[in-house]
Amino acid sequence: MSQTYTYNLSGPPRPVPWPIRAQAMFGGVFSQFGWLWLGFTMIFLWLFGSLTSLNGLFFLVSDVGTTQGVVSTIGDTSASENDTPVYANHYAFRVERLEQDFHGISYTTGQRFSEGERVTIEYVSSNPNISRIEGTRSGTFSPWVLCLVGLFPLVGIIFVTVSMWSGFKANRLLTHGRVALGTLIDKQPTSTRINNQTVYKLTFEFTADNGQRYEAVARSHQPFVLEDEPQEQLLYDPQNPRKAVLLDNLPGEPDIDEWGNIQVANIGRSLRSLILPVTVLVINGLIFVVVMRL
């Protein structure tokens, strides 16, 4: 922030340029890490998802018929679960009421059928193309594998959600918050590191318009930014002064002009903060559309 106008912010409600809002929502280190992690781990989720059939859900909610079928061939796959090989069991069966033959593939982990072996086939009565050998699955991997892989994107979703919620609150305070000066009263290292730098928890004390003292907490791996002045400017919610944010801890480096209006200091940085979120959303959106059309 510009040191010349550090404590000259105009009163609420104040207009906040969209690049500043975007930077607050998406530009933080935790937000960018979350989008990067989410985009990377979604590759594996889609990969394993394409090999994990959820057709088993149809057998839970639909009328299921059974008939006898014959295993035609047994194929080895390159997949395994817990170092146990997965086999592809090709089979054929006939639905007499339709006077039609059907074919399918069921997958087993470790278990092998024999060619020509007669087996019981389960199929969805309204759509016999959805079938399986009784006791097997119709996808290469068990659904639990997909759930396990899904835990990794979940971490990214948590980072993104928390960061976006923090950005939303910061934008609300930028628009409606009251200005106060906070004094650093405590600084503690956390167990988190960013770029091999320790993230510190800094606590500031300030006095609200109601005369009461409150605390504002900021976390940063660059604490010197919040220690370069005797008092740091912050914004707090007049309805709930415990909700406060340090201006120097906001992503986007908002500047303040001589009239106290918030200006964009670096629009290029704001635009760059949108690259990861837009890329991740567009790519996964396109993949979703393709999958739904298959």
List pLDDT tens digits, range 261-277: 777 777 777 788 889 99
pLDDT digits (tens, 9 = 90+) for 174-194: 888 888 888 989 888 888 887
Query: Which whole number is the average pLDDT over 191-210?
Result: 86
Do β-strands 64-81 and 118-124 pair in parallel, antiparallel, or remain unpaired?
antiparallel
What pLDDT score was predicted for residue 262? 74
pLDDT at 3: 44
Q: What pLDDT does residue 264 have?
A: 74
- In the predicted model, what is the mean pLDDT of residues 39-60? 79
pTM: 0.67
Give CA–CA dist 215/210, Å, rounded: 14
pLDDT grade, residue 2 (50/70/90)?
very low
Under a CB-based contact definition with an 8 Å cutoff, are residues 91 and 121 in contact? Answer: yes
Q: Angle formed by the axes of helices 275-293 and 29-50, to 10°?
A: 20
C-alpha–C-alpha distance, residues 159 and 93, integer Å:
49
pLDDT at 5: 38
